[in-house]
Structure 1
Amino acid sequence: MTKTATKKKTFSITAPEKRGLVLGLIGRIVRENGHLFVRQYALAIGCLVAAAGCTAFLAWIMRDVIDKIFVQQNRAAIYSLPAIVFVTFAIRGLANYGQAVVLARIGNNIVARYQRRLFSHITELSVDFFAENRSAHLAARINQNVSGIRDTLNLTVTSLARDALTLVFLVFVMIYQDPVLSGIALLAGPPIVLMIGKLAKKLRAATRQAIDINARVLASMQEAAQGITVVKAFTMEVPLRERIERLILKAEERSNKIAGITERTSPVTEMLAGLAIAGVIGYSGYRAVVYGYSPGSMFAFITALLLAYDPARRLAKLQVQLERALVNASMIYEILDMEPRQADAPNARELEAEHGEIVFRNVSFGYYPGESVLRDLSFVAPAGRTTALIGASGGGKSTIIALLQRFYDVQEGAITIDGEDIRGVTKRSLRSRIAYVPQAPYLFEGTIRENIRLGRPDATDAEIEDAARQAQAEEFILAAPQGYDTPVGENGMTLSGGQRQRLSIARALVRNAPILLLDEATSALDTRSETLVQAALDAAMKDRTVIVVAHRLSTITNADQILVVDGGQIVERGTHGDLVDRVDGHYARFYGLQSGGNRRPADLAAARG
């Protein structure tokens, strides 16, 4: 599968375009989260119902306020009715406070749970997922989308329990007071509903595009911050600034378009609502003047109508707001629904790897269809011995390391450890038996001690310090301001390349695994550090199965076997002494180039062993 094809598969789910998909997505969100917050939602809904009831009651009581106080001039009502109004407002205020706090806590918990769930799921996805998706863009996109689940639930609850109920209660009051006027007022509803439906369709595509563009803006800023030394070294400030400004301009234009679509409901809603209210006031006033209708009933009706305007307006915008939330939610589920391509087999076993013998048997693999990186490759890495891989760049050495850790699955052939096919064991048990030192060392946020301990979380401080000594890192660690508790900065920016590599080696050593993989582990070290670390690695390699990828042949002369990889195949194998004696061989040529450029056959033969 090509990267392009894979990416299409990864993000093939589009924003819901049919009502069934919308309801299905809402149903999934409710099923996943509703049962976790039954009591909290019951409390919030109770508060919302109380607030809706109080709002309707305020409209209802206006008839008595007008008739009993202003028309009948009832002295008792002067004291009782204001007190009732005050108590009603107090209850509504407390109810609104209660529902706001409860829904905020639920929403915060949902965001936190989905952040944990997303991180857990992403770490289980295959390496090729991260090769196809830029990390900064992915992080920015997740940061924007994760609130979609919360907003969908909150909008649904508040709209149904508060706005819909308030509107229903007020409409009931209006119909009770005057059915004819109620019919006039409700004529504004159908045109608003039709208009909202058309706007929602336009909003879906615009919202998704805005999310992608904003993610690119945040990702570009993050990448510029991470690569600031390169930016300044190559005076890239101006072109990067221009590129980000173009992205920001696109994001601004897209946001303006969304604002225009979203707020397009306001003038139409206001005009239709204003027309309905004006008609009601004019007609009710005419009836009061000409036919002597009770002013209390008319005032109660108009109060109910005015109070109904706000929930009706919010409900009118609900579909637009819900569309935006659902687009965000659907993009979160796109990630959560991805299946790891290197998933554990249904009956996967735990790998023991007591000895650690590694066998590649007729392995073929390619990252793209029709392009093979490894072709029918076979070799045995004996247990407790060191196997070195050398060859030109692009020959397949690092791919061998990646396949052994099952970052990818072989397309043909098999890889076994102590006779166990690695596809039949759990990935966690496989990788727990391997210590890995990559070519580019990577340090995580935290202290020096915490970074070394990541190799084995249960390692003691004494074991961490012993691993640091073996990696020849203790000297600079103790010279740091806080020793082992010194923060390393973003990706170890406060340390040199050699120091970062030695911490990476210490992290591998503290893992104490039977298999050790070294991918150009000494490439970032100066001559002195390389000599010290090589001595430490020689000690660490004892009684372990080691596969080391190297370009500096001086670091592998003592390997038990050396495999020359070229074009995805093993073209030579043997010890340093055997291979250097083959004056026309690949290894001899590599050795000659690194030993002075023009070594004579006699010189190469003299370099044996």
Structure 2
Amino acid sequence: MTKKSLSLSDERDRGQAIALLKRIIAENGREHIRGYAVAVVCLVLVALSTAFLAWIMRDVIDRIFVEGDRAVLFTLPFAVFLSFLIRGLATYGQGVILARIGNDVVARYQRRLFAHLTDLSVDFFGENRSAQLAARINQNVSGVRDTLNLTVTSLARDLLTLIFLIFAMIWQDWVLSLIALLAGPPIAIMISGLSKKLRKATRQSIDLNARVLGSMQETAQGIQVVKAFTMERLLRERTEVLIQAAEERSNRIAVITERSGPITETVAGLAVAAVIAWSGYRAIAYGYSPGAMFAFITALLLAYDPARRLAKLQVQLERALVNAAMIYEILDETPRQADAPGAKALVVPRGEIRFEEVVFGYHPGEPVLRGVSFTAEAGRTTALIGASGGGKSTVVALLERFYDVESGRILIDGQDVAGVTKASLRGQIAYVPQHPTLFEGSIRDNIRFGRPEADDAAVEEAARRAQAEEFILAQPLGYDTPVGENGVTLSGGQRQRLSIARALLRDAPILLLDEATSALDTRSEILVQRALEAAMKERTVIVVAHRLSTVVNADQILVVDRGRIAERGSHAELVRRPNGLYARFHGLQAGGGAADEAVGDTIPQAAD
């Protein structure tokens, strides 16, 4: 890159950093204005008391040790003690206040992040690995707090302390002050150069550490598969590469960050040595007061610590701002399935569902649905069967508006789902996914997610209808038994029955079943099928299935092949069609064959 392009890049980075700092202060300053005001007062007291110690040293040396004035033998030591007392109390006050404000800021951003993540579209989570996302948030969320605290403490404590001490130094001797201040410019130039290198290294380190933590989390979640396929060595090797890269990047940051130390110490040492030599020469040659010299050197040494912190401020602030910027990248992510302007609540008097020439693909140029049209009559059951990758589950996802169609319309009782609020749409739908998901909490809590206001009696009734009560009561604490991470303590069939109980408790006019019985054994499938048949009455039901036993009684069966509706009709009608896809599918299942081969090949990289 040319010097001009590098200069423009630096200016752009500085502009972005300033804009980000303004945003952080604007979002959090007013909320904690009183707390910051008290903290600033405490920090000012710290700065004043520190400068006072340097200023009073002249009188301490000259009047007590040189002149032997007994009149000040009590007052001056008491003033020094009082200065230390004030500084100690003020330091405690500002530390507690800033810690509380910082903890509140972290909590507020955690709430914002969680609320925003739940508002984001399903495709966002498809593009970002959940484990790495969680790890990255965990690392970045403190960036806003650190930015605010660094700004406040640096300006109100370190900068004021340095200013007051420089004033005390100039008051004592302006020539010595000029010698001491010559150390400032070279240190500032060096720190500016280091901060540019640190910005890029910090972001790389955060990304690598997020991948390491994400890898560990994914391994813990899939430990049974890891052990079943003896993947331990392979995963250790893959994670070792990430850990080594993260370690190297962290070492690089340490080298950049600490590089300021030797240079700062060397330059400051030269300044202090020069001051001592010059002041000592004047004391010996011209009889200058030792108190003035001692007071000046005290001020100079006390000024070194805040000056050193201010020298590192840009480096520390760069790291904090990188973390904060990555948090705002998530917060600024716009939900792709946002409610349309003026969207109204969905009203479902009947529950008729109609797809009109719907075209959709997860990736540009790779359509999954190609002009799908059908009507699911109100109060009846429509079944979708076909090969994996044909688009069956995509129909369900579009009906829930997890994604928006590329063209065509989806109507519920004549209302386009794109024009109603998502909350009202999903509130009218009960959903049982192919892979049941359970959340932290008890069995009762997980069923109650279907309708949070439901009482215990309704929860238990839903469990009985889902044929789940028998195994629930066999658990150590019954309905209050914790389910473990994603229900790890339960079998696949038990998790699926809890998922069905959750949908039954929802009591919505539309019921979506996406391979709802796929994880059940034969006995459980029979029991749950009976429960589902009861739940389907007077509801509009869409069933996605491979097993024909779950769809033979459907009012309408749609055979989905390569993103199109290839056949439609009842079981009796479809099975009689010679050489029809459904008839071949039925023949293979009856004979124990591979059903997917009858319906068509799987379409690569297409969701079901």
TM more than 0.5: yes
Post-superposition offset of 1:238: 1.1
Q: Is 1:173 aligned to 2:173, yes or no?
A: no
1:483 and 1:214 map into 2 onto residues whose CA distance is 40
Q: Is 1:393 aligned to 2:385, yes or no?
A: no
1:447 and 1:454 map into 2 onto residues whose CA distance is 11
**2:481 matched residue in structure 1:** 486
**1:602 matched residue in structure 2:** none
Post-superposition offset of 1:597: 5.5
Q: Is 1:419 aligned to 2:414, yes or no?
A: yes
Partner SS, residue 370 of structure 1: coil
Alignment of 1:87-166 (within 5 A): 87-166=82-161
**1:437 matched residue in structure 2:** 432
Partner SS, residue 349 of structure 1: coil
Alignment of 1:164-243 (within 5 A): 164-243=159-238
Q: Is the 8 A contact 1:553 1:591 kept in 2?
A: yes
**1:534 matched residue in structure 2:** 529
Q: Is 1:569 aligned to 2:585, yes or no?
A: no
1:153 and 1:322 map into 2 onto residues whose CA distance is 9
1:584 and 1:237 map into 2 onto residues whose CA distance is 48
Post-superposition offset of 1:287: 0.6
**2:38 matched residue in structure 1:** 43
Kindly report the root-mean-square deviation, in angstroms, between the aligned alpha carbons of the 2 structures: 1.1
**1:60-83 per-position Cα deviation (integer Å, ceiling 9, x unaligned):** 000100111011100121111111
**2:588 matched residue in structure 1:** 593
**1:304 matched residue in structure 2:** 299
Q: Is 1:455 aligned to 2:474, yes or no?
A: no
Letter matched to residue 366 of structure 2: E
Letter matched to residue 243 of structure 2: I
Letter matched to residue 369 of structure 2: L
> If the length of structure 1 is used for normalisation, what is the TM-score?
0.95
1:109 and 1:498 map into 2 onto residues whose CA distance is 43
Post-superposition offset of 1:244: 1.4
Letter matched to residue 207 of structure 1: T
1:486 and 1:274 map into 2 onto residues whose CA distance is 66
1:176 and 1:357 map into 2 onto residues whose CA distance is 87
Partner SS, residue 522 of structure 1: coil
**1:258-313 per-position Cα deviation (integer Å, ceiling 9, x unaligned):** 00000000000000000000000100111111111111111111110000000000
Alignment of 1:4-19 (within 5 A): 18-19=13-14
> If the length of structure 2 is used for normalisation, what is the TM-score?
0.95
Identify the match of residue 19 of structure 2 among 16, 19, 24: 24
1:61 and 1:519 map into 2 onto residues whose CA distance is 80
1:37 and 1:497 map into 2 onto residues whose CA distance is 49
Letter matched to residue 100 of structure 2: R
**1:166-221 per-position Cα deviation (integer Å, ceiling 9, x unaligned):** 00000000011111110000000000000000000000110000000000110011
Letter matched to residue 144 of structure 2: I
Post-superposition offset of 1:480: 0.4
Q: Is 1:374 aligned to 2:375, yes or no?
A: no
Q: Is 1:357 aligned to 2:341, yes or no?
A: no
**1:60 matched residue in structure 2:** 55
1:255 and 1:404 map into 2 onto residues whose CA distance is 47
1:100 and 1:597 map into 2 onto residues whose CA distance is 72
Partner SS, residue 378 of structure 1: strand
**1:409-433 per-position Cα deviation (integer Å, ceiling 9, x unaligned):** 0000000101000010000110011
2:362 and 2:377 map into 1 onto residues whose CA distance is 28
Q: Is the 8 A contact 1:144 1:211 kept in 2?
A: yes
Q: Is 1:290 aligned to 2:282, yes or no?
A: no
**1:257 matched residue in structure 2:** 252
Identify the match of residue 323 of structure 1 among 318, 321, 328: 318
Q: Is the 8 A contact 1:437 1:517 kept in 2?
A: yes
Partner SS, residue 350 of structure 1: coil
> What stretches of structure 2 of length at least 5 have no aligned partner?
1-8, 594-608
Partner SS, residue 74 of structure 2: helix
**1:579 matched residue in structure 2:** 574
**1:607 matched residue in structure 2:** none
1:570 and 1:553 map into 2 onto residues whose CA distance is 17
1:101 and 1:249 map into 2 onto residues whose CA distance is 38
Post-superposition offset of 1:19: 2.0
Q: After TM superposition, where is structure 1 displaced by more than 6 Å over at least 4 residues in a row?
A: none
Letter matched to residue 282 of structure 2: R
2:272 and 2:349 map into 1 onto residues whose CA distance is 83
